[in-house]
């Protein structure tokens, strides 16, 4: 009844994940660039609402894939994009961003030591940028409700392709992808379980802020788009475990993905094996190209002390969400708020249907 058609623009194609079966009860949503979903949605909506006039500059604080997605959409919209980033931004990503016409504004390395780290320094610099230009649009991925809202696209896709999703597993950063996708899935499947994957010393689920080796996951500031009540369970994954799982995903399934995808796969695979009658979907946010010289390079792993470290078979279940220890820990979040968890309070999980 319907035929396949072409995409109108590159970014429309980039936002569609490939849904791949990894096991009879485990499917992976493999993204080339997951952040394209909120970036495209937010900018197109801004354009439709008249917030992107000719000469309006798009400015955002990002050192990763959200900036890349904005820069790509900026090409389609013919608008200047200014990205305030860490000094440690990946050189190849930097070249790609500038080739797309984006201006990359790096905060000084000295800001690493202040409270909130680079993230706070970047927000400060963004405020300055906003004052420098007459008309600036700030996508604000951390607090803009259009970020989670944009993931209705994925909930639609999963329901049309699978009809049933009992558990969704994915890495958490801004909170947009996991909170948005889960919330929309639950409009049809209220009992769908959500497992968030974070990394040690990220403030998202109760750890104190500290040094994190794993990039693209974990935060130093709490984003408004993270609705903790969405999550049934939270896992914390070390860089070493994430790297090993990333390689395992490549070797077992020929999926060439980044380390946040590896961390999510580690948790999802464990869950799917333990729950064979349950259908699990794992979100794999980006591809492996940016990590060829690191995660996919044995010499680099050896130097970093990660080579030969076995992938843990199962997480250590912790009773206290605030303690960052071990390579892989899990906590029964129970759809509570952060305050409820920190207070040790128990609330009943909302019933099915």
Partner 1 sequence: MRSLGELDSAPGRRGDLASEIDIGVGHAPAHHGELLQGMFYDGSGRLRRALVTLPDPGRGSRAVFRPSERHWGIVGTPELIKVRRAAILALREFSGHPSPAKGGQIEITSNVPRGIGMGSSTSDVAATIRAVADYHGVPLSREEVGRLAVLAECASDSVMIDDRVVLFAHRDGMVVETFGHRLPPMVVVGCDTAPGSVVDTLAFPPAEYGDAEVGAFQVLRAAFRRAVATEDVALLGRVTTASARINQRFLPKPALEDLLELCLRLGGSGVQVAHSGTVAGLIFDAAQPGLDQGVHECMAGIAALGLELTGVIGPAPTAASIWPLAARVPA
Task: Report residue 196: phi and psi, to 5°.
Answer: -90, 140
155 binds partner 1 (CB under 8 A): yes
CB 34, CB 59: distance < 8 Å: no
Give the residue with the Cβ less far from partner 1, 122 or 149.
Answer: 149
Instruction: Name the residue nearer to partner 1 (CB basis): 149 or 215.
Output: 149
**Of 141 and 183, which has the nearer Cβ to partner 1?**
183
Residue 1 binds partner 1 (CB under 8 A): yes
Q: How far is the CB of 198 from partner 1 (least distance, A)?
A: 25
Residues 6+ apart with CB under 8 A from 154: 17, 29, 37, 177, 180, 181, 184, 283
Verify binding: residue 313, partner 1, rule CB under 8 A: no
Q: How far is the CB of 189 from partner 1 (least distance, A)?
A: 7
Q: Does 123 bind partner 1 (CB under 8 A)?
A: no
CB closer to partner 1, 152 vs 307: 152
Are the C-beta atoms of residues 295 and 301 closer than 8 Å to each other? yes
Closest to partner 1 by CB, 148 vs 171, is: 148
When binding is defined by CB under 8 A, the residue of 156, 298, 314, 320 that contacts partner 1 is 156
Assess 109 for contact with partner 1 (CB under 8 A).
no
> Is 8 near partner 1 (CB under 8 A)?
no
State how far the alpha carbon of 52 is from the alpha carbons of 40, 151, 263, in Å. Answer: 13, 22, 37
Q: Over the Cα atoms of the chain, what is R_g?
A: 20
Q: Applying CB under 8 A, what is the total number of residues that bind partner 1? A: 19
Put the strands of the sheet holding 57-61 in their side by side order.
103-106, 81-85, 57-61, 136-137
Q: Does 137 bind partner 1 (CB under 8 A)?
A: no
Q: Does 172 bind partner 1 (CB under 8 A)?
A: no
Q: Output DSSP code: residue 230.
A: G
Does position 322 interact with partner 1 (CB under 8 A)? The reply is no
- Kindly state whether residue 350 participates in binding partner 1, applying the rule CB under 8 A: no
**Running DSSP on this structure, what letter comes out for residue 286?**
B
Pairing between β-strand 167-171 and β-strand 280-284 as defined by DSSP bridges? parallel
Query: Does position 143 bind partner 1 by CB under 8 A?
Result: no
Q: Check residue 164 for interaction with partner 1 (CB under 8 A).
A: yes
Among 102, 126, 185, 219, binds partner 1 (CB under 8 A): 185
Tell whether residue 152 is a contact of partner 1 (CB under 8 A): yes
Kindly state the tokens that stand for 124.
Answer: 């400060």
Which of 155, 266 has the CB closer to partner 1? 155
Backbone angles phi, psi at 287, to 5 degrees: -90, 175
Residue 157 binds to partner 1 (criterion: CB under 8 A): yes
Range list of β-strands (E), the chain: 18-23, 26-30, 57-61, 81-85, 103-106, 136-137, 167-171, 193-198, 233-237, 280-284, 316-317, 328-332
271 is a contact residue toward partner 1 (CB under 8 A):
no
Of the candidates 88, 109, 188, 316, which one interacts with partner 1 according to CB under 8 A? 188
Which of 189, 237, 240, 284 is in the footprint of partner 1 by CB under 8 A?
189
Residues facing 170 on adjacent strands: 196
Nearer to partner 1 by Cβ, of 89 and 157: the residue is 157
CB nearer to partner 1: pick between 34 and 327? 34
**Residues 211, 166 contacting (CB under 8 angstroms):** no
Please identify which residue in the block is written with the tokens 């609402």.
49
The site for partner 1 (CB under 8 A) is made up of: 1, 145, 149, 152, 155-157, 159-161, 163-164, 183-185, 187-189, 353
């Amino acid at each position: 009844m319907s035929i396949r058609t072409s995409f109108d623009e590159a970014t429309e194609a980039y936002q569609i994940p490939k849904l791949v079966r990894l096991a009879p009860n485990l499917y992976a949503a493999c993204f080339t660039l997951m952040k394209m979903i909120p970036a495209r949605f937010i900018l197109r909506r801004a354009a439709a609402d008249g917030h992107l006039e000719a000469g309006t500059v798009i400015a955002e604080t990002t050192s990763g894939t959200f900036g890349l997605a904005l820069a790509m959409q900026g090409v389609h919209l013919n608008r200047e994009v200014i990205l305030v980033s860490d000094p440690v931004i990946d050189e190849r990503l930097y070249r790609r961003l500038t080739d797309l016409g984006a201006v990359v504004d790096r905060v000084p390395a000295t800001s690493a030591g202040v409270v909130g780290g680079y993230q706070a320094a970047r927000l400060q610099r963004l405020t300055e940028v906003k004052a420098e230009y007459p008309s600036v649009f700030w996508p604000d991925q951390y607090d803009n409700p259009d970020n989670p809202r944009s993931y209705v696209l994925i909930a639609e896709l999963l329901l049309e392709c699978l009809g049933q999703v009992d558990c969704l597993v994915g890495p958490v950063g801004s909170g947009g992808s996991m909170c948005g996708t889960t919330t929309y899935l639950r409009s049809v499947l209220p009992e769908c379980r959500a497992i968030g994957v974070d990394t040690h010393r990220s403030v998202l689920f109760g750890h104190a802020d500290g040094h994190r080796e794993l990039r693209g996951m974990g935060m130093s500031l709490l984003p408004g788009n993270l609705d903790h009540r969405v999550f049934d369970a939270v896992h914390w994954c070390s860089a070493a475990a994430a790297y090993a799982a990333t390689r395992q995903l490549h070797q077992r399934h020929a999926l060439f993905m980044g380390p946040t995808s590896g961390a999510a796969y580690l948790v999802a695979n464990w869950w799917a094996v333990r729950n064979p009658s349950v259908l699990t979907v794992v979100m794999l946010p980006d591809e492996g190209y940016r990590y060829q010289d690191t995660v996919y390079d044995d010499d680099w792993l050896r130097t970093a002390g990660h080579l030969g470290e076995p992938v843990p078979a199962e997480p250590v279940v912790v009773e206290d969400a605030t303690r960052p220890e071990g390579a892989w820990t899990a906590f029964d979040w129970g759809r509570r708020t952060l305050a409820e968890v920190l207070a040790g309070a128990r609330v009943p999980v909302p019933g099915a249907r």
